[in-house]
Structure 1
Amino acid sequence: MPKVEIYSKFTCPYCARAKMLLDQKGVAYEEYEISMGGPKRTEMLERANGRTTVPQIFINGYHVGGSDDLAELERAGKLDALLAAPAD
């Protein structure tokens, strides 16, 4: 089972779109809600090389990027292979 992490904000439509794609694939994920900032937002900024937009998605520690990046992996047929890799 892959370790999928998503940093999101409560009212973010892009976050909802990314989570819907993961849900459709039956993938469990850990969501970090950063609407109010705090240590998880700081962690996201460090892990995502300063990217401030949400969502920021990680699969087994690999930084996928945002919702559009996740959707592009799906369109290119590369998302399933990434999700098939076991977590470290």
Structure 2
Amino acid sequence: MYATGVCPYCVRAEALLKRKGIEAIDKIRIDLDPSRRDEMMQLTGLRTVPQIFIGDYHVGGCDDLYALDREGRLDPLLQGEA
């Protein structure tokens, strides 16, 4: 997950993932290493955080993550079934 230290959406996304049992979240802090923002933008075409990846799948942002959960598609994705 590409994130910054002060982003409330990053905190919400991380909280949902932790509620789902995901403890090891690889956070890439673009506020600490601006070159990583360029990397994020090349991968996603977007400049806002969070940008969440589950494996190689680009989920998108916090709202996208919560939408996947509401649709019942997040758990299978986290279990490697999607």
**TM-score, scaled relative to structure 2:** 0.90
Structure 1 stretches of at least 4 aligned residues deviating more than 3 Å after TM superposition? none
Give the match for residue 19 of structure 1. 14
Q: Which has the higher contact order (CA 8 A, sep 6+)?
A: 1
| Cα distance in 2, alignment partners of residues 38 and 13 from structure 1 | 19
The aligned runs of 1:21-60 (5 Å cut-off) are: 21-27=16-22, 28-48=24-44, 50-60=45-55
Number of aligned pairs? 80
Determine which structure has the larger strand proportion and give its number.
1
Deviation string for 1:62-83 (max 9, x for gaps)?
1100000000000000000111
| Cα distance in 2, alignment partners of residues 23 and 73 from structure 1 | 15
Give the match for residue 85 of structure 1. 80
Between the aligned residues of both structures, percent identity stands at 49
**TM-score, scaled relative to structure 1:** 0.84
The aligned runs of 1:71-82 (5 Å cut-off) are: 71-82=66-77
* RMSD after superposition: 1.3
3-state SS, counterpart of residue 30 of structure 1: coil
| Cα distance in 2, alignment partners of residues 36 and 69 from structure 1 | 25
